[in-house]
Structure 1
Amino acid sequence: MIAKTRTTSPSRCSTRAAYSPRLPIAGLLALAMAGFICILTESLPAGLLPQIAQDLGITEPLAGQLVTVYAIGSLVAAIPLTTATREWRRRPLLLLCIIGFLIFNTVTALSTVYILTLVARFFSGVAAGVLWGMTAGYARRMVPHSQKGRAMAIAMVGTPLALALGVPIGTFLGTHMGWRLIFGSLSVLTAFLIVWILWKLPDYEGEQVSNRLPLRSIFILPGIRPILIIVLAWVLAHNILYTYISPYLAGTKLADRTDVVLLIFGIASVVGLWIIGVFIDRHLRLLVLISIAGFGLASIAMGVGSGQPSIILLAVIVWGLTFGGAATLLQTAIAQAGGNNADIAQSMLVTVWNLAIGGGGIIGAILLKQFGGISLPGSLVIIMLPALIIAWQAKKHAFHKENKSSIS
């Protein structure tokens, strides 16, 4: 079925985009829906651990490994599989990832064997690693140069929506209606997305052999390494705070309102992404600097103002506003720096992002044990300050305004 899908030449799509001021909303939202499904697939087990553990007859720590193996799948697959599929046409590759979600989420919903469920979760992560490596480049190829950042923001809107609405709603419904029904519903949504992609998403050629650079050469391209260091620091700091937000709030007057705090964070993230989408094509570097500095200041406020709920909530809003567009900012920057090799550069970002997620859990646990939950926000400044300095200094190659010579 994939081989028979109708394709659209890159030159025709580029010409059409160049003469049309309107964004291809339907196609970009298909990419956003793919991200939405990806984040839900990754995050839902964390909110349903008691139900999953009881149903599979295992302990909650063992159930928690369903999240771990997913992350491992993404981590080990992103760079090698993105490299191996560089020459593949884009829509068939995207469909292969989406079909992977359909199959493995269905297996997860039906499996009564823990090992089989782990295997399904691992391969779901593999599909996610490839998908995240190609989404940014796909979105950028659908629009003219002046709209690449805005297109990225639309294609990435599924991530904050999943975290702000999808995960809480899915957790609530899974608790009351059964976790298997939620994963089955994800499969139905994925089947709908397959039809949507075939209907509305244009196809593009893969990377030409003549344009290919070795992996090491891409890594040392100007701008790539500073961006990856910023990704590591920013996502590490965010996940230390996000993962252990409950222990932090336990020492404040918001101890019983973790759900409200996370909802506020999620809503602020969506608003932050919208703001990024409006200004990113003209002010990429400024937005990166403001976002990093804003998150650092919010962390300080949560540390010194832990006795004042109003200060905490205001800081959480700033945190959400500054992190909501982080993925869009960083993916846009690394796509510009990667040029013709943007997809491989994106796969490096995906790998570092997942390393930072895992590192956030480990480092956060150490800080929590040694210094307590209240100390977590203030300690993040040590991580964010070097990121701010690197972003400030990396003006020439890492963060610059989109120009018509950029190829992605």
Structure 2
Amino acid sequence: MAHVEEIHDPVRAPAAPDARRFPLWGLLALAMAAFITLLTETLPAGVLPAMARDLDASVSAAGQTVTLYAIASVLTAVPLVKMTAEWPRRRLLLTAVCGFIVANTITALSTSFALTLVSRFLAGTASALIWALLAGYARRMVEPHQRGRALAIASAGTPVALAIGVPAGAFFAQTLGWRVSFAGISILTVLLALWILLSVPQFPGQKRGERQPLSGALRMPGVLPVLGAVAAYVLAHSVLYNYIAPFLGSVGLGERVDAVLLAFGGASILGLWLVGTLIDRHLRTLVIASSCLFALAAVVLGLFAQFPVFVFIGAALWGFAFGGVATLLQTAAAEAAGSAVDMVQSLFVTAWNLAIAAGGVIGGILLAGAGPEVLPGATLVIAVPAILTSVLACRNAFPGRTDRQRREAAS
């Protein structure tokens, strides 16, 4: 999933961040948390056949390990944000990190498909907290004029996970077994917990009476269109990404899953870099361009998958489009939310992960009923609403530069 922002502007640390010392190591710790969160979420997509075989399940059933992870985030994001609003932020971050240690260790050791599903639900719960904390945490660690840079650094863990982590996990799964990959994530997470203790500052939680109601958040102009775009884009992505291994197997690239994922992830880093460079001036243009490029990638994979070179080109286009989409949609949500930003960010987590879960279910049904060859076409069809929303919702959800300047002046 994506990196979702929890902003508590009224609640500040006792002292302002030191303008003379940029907290690079603390921000990199947050980036590592994003790396581990996304790696935990997406690794099963690259090892589905091996997981299914070892756990005595079908490939489509094993794909529900991704679905259940997302369902857990859907069910727990909003209530967890409400229940833990007053917790000190570092304690809450460490609690979520420890949740990953436990969940991934169980996944690595489990020989029961049912127990593996339980561990994936626990991991999804930890994910809900991580995504709700990271971006807001990064913004609070720096001066206001450094927030864009800080958010870019904290967000870097996502494309790095796609570019390096998932392909590496798939490689180790093919050579040493998929359990080794999950055990390795647990070891990295233990080191991350120590890193957070040493380099990430403590901040207070919210004070009583500062929470925004759900109904008020949903009434904010632009919020619903942004959430709709999130749902369409991530659903389209997940239908294919969750089942990338069987799709590649159907076109003769079953042994090149790691290489294709590497192409996807490397391009996603470039996409995030471009978004970070241009987002302040061209949010609307970037959202539209990302949606259209994603659709083009689906066309390439659907029509030319019999040619390996076009599979890699399609994966690279897909990664380039998807690399910055979470940052784009998160920024649009935060700007539309106004004073209801905290609640909107928890809704963002819910919409994102609900779409991942639905993608797992729809993709599994298509895989079992029609075969993996139909997945790119389904992705294209589902991506159309995201394109239409980004084009039509131009005033409040995805405003152009002039409208954004007018909104900032009014606030």
TM above 0.5? yes
Give the structure 1 partner of residue 3 of structure 2: none
Give the structure 1 partner of residue 8 of structure 2: none
Map of 1:366-405 to 2, 5 A cutoff?
A: 366-367=365-366, 373-400=372-399
Give the structure 2 partner of residue 314 of structure 1: 313
Matched, 1:201 2:200: yes
Check 1:394–1:65 CA distance in 2 against 1; reply closer, same or farther (3 A cut): closer
Check 1:249–1:187 CA distance in 2 against 1; reply closer, same or farther (3 A cut): closer
Map of 1:133-282 to 2, 5 A cutoff?
A: 133-245=132-244, 249=248, 257-282=256-281
Decide which moves more: 386-395 or 346-355.
Answer: 386-395
- Separation in structure 2 between the aligned mates of residue 111 and residue 369 of structure 1, nearest angstrom: 25
Q: What SS does structure 2 have at the residue aligned with 1:235?
A: helix
How many residue pairs get aligned? The number is: 394
- Separation in structure 2 between the aligned mates of residue 385 and residue 63 of structure 1, nearest angstrom: 28
Say whether the 8 Å CA contact 2:30–2:134 is kept in structure 1.
yes
Give the structure 2 partner of residue 283 of structure 1: 282
Matched, 1:127 2:121: no
- Separation in structure 1 between the aligned mates of residue 302 and residue 113 of structure 2, nearest angstrom: 41
Say whether the 8 Å CA contact 1:152–1:332 is kept in structure 2.
no
Give the structure 2 partner of residue 90 of structure 1: 89
Alpha-carbon deviation of 1:177?
Answer: 3.6
Matched, 1:59 2:57: yes
Alpha-carbon deviation of 1:395?
Answer: 3.2
Give the structure 2 partner of residue 3 of structure 1: none
Map of 1:24-63 to 2, 5 A cutoff?
A: 24-48=23-47, 58-60=56-58
Say whether the 8 Å CA contact 2:291–2:386 is kept in structure 1.
yes
- Separation in structure 2 between the aligned mates of residue 292 and residue 102 of structure 1, nearest angstrom: 35
Give the structure 1 partner of residue 16 of structure 2: 13
Alpha-carbon deviation of 1:234?
Answer: 0.7
Alpha-carbon deviation of 1:228?
Answer: 0.6
Say whether the 8 Å CA contact 1:280–1:287 is kept in structure 2.
yes
Say whether the 8 Å CA contact 2:212–2:340 is kept in structure 1.
yes
Taking structure 2 as the reference length, the TM-score comes to 0.82
Check 1:300–1:329 CA distance in 2 against 1; reply closer, same or farther (3 A cut): same
Q: What SS does structure 2 have at the residue aligned with 1:319?
A: helix
- Separation in structure 2 between the aligned mates of residue 297 and residue 236 of structure 1, nearest angstrom: 16
Cα deviation digits, residues 207-255 of structure 1 (max 9, x gap): 3334322112112222211111001111111122323445655675767
Q: What SS does structure 1 have at the residue aligned with 2:40?
A: helix
- Separation in structure 2 between the aligned mates of residue 142 and residue 23 of structure 1, nearest angstrom: 9
Where in structure 2 are there 5+ consecutive unaligned residues? 1-10
Q: Which amino acid aligns with 1:12?
A: A
> What is the percentage of aligned positions where both structures have the same residue?
48
Check 1:119–1:299 CA distance in 2 against 1; reply closer, same or farther (3 A cut): closer
Alpha-carbon deviation of 1:387?
Answer: 1.9
Alpha-carbon deviation of 1:328?
Answer: 1.5
Check 1:121–1:254 CA distance in 2 against 1; reply closer, same or farther (3 A cut): closer
Alpha-carbon deviation of 1:164?
Answer: 2.5
Q: What SS does structure 1 have at the residue aligned with 2:16?
A: helix
Say whether the 8 Å CA contact 1:149–1:280 is kept in structure 2.
no
Where in structure 1 are there 5+ consecutive unaligned residues? 1-7
- Separation in structure 2 between the aligned mates of residue 311 and residue 179 of structure 1, nearest angstrom: 28
Q: What SS does structure 2 have at the residue aligned with 1:10?
A: coil
Say whether the 8 Å CA contact 2:162–2:264 is kept in structure 1.
no
- Separation in structure 1 between the aligned mates of residue 50 and residue 304 of structure 2, nearest angstrom: 36
Alpha-carbon deviation of 1:320?
Answer: 1.1
Say whether the 8 Å CA contact 1:143–1:151 is kept in structure 2.
yes
Q: What SS does structure 2 have at the residue aligned with 1:204?
A: coil
Check 1:54–1:253 CA distance in 2 against 1; reply closer, same or farther (3 A cut): closer
Say whether the 8 Å CA contact 2:42–2:242 is kept in structure 1.
no
- Separation in structure 1 between the aligned mates of residue 137 and residue 331 of structure 2, nearest angstrom: 12
- Separation in structure 1 between the aligned mates of residue 177 and residue 243 of structure 2, nearest angstrom: 26
Say whether the 8 Å CA contact 2:66–2:357 is kept in structure 1.
no
- Separation in structure 2 between the aligned mates of residue 284 and residue 342 of structure 1, nearest angstrom: 18
Check 1:25–1:75 CA distance in 2 against 1; reply closer, same or farther (3 A cut): same
- Separation in structure 2 between the aligned mates of residue 256 and residue 360 of structure 1, nearest angstrom: 24
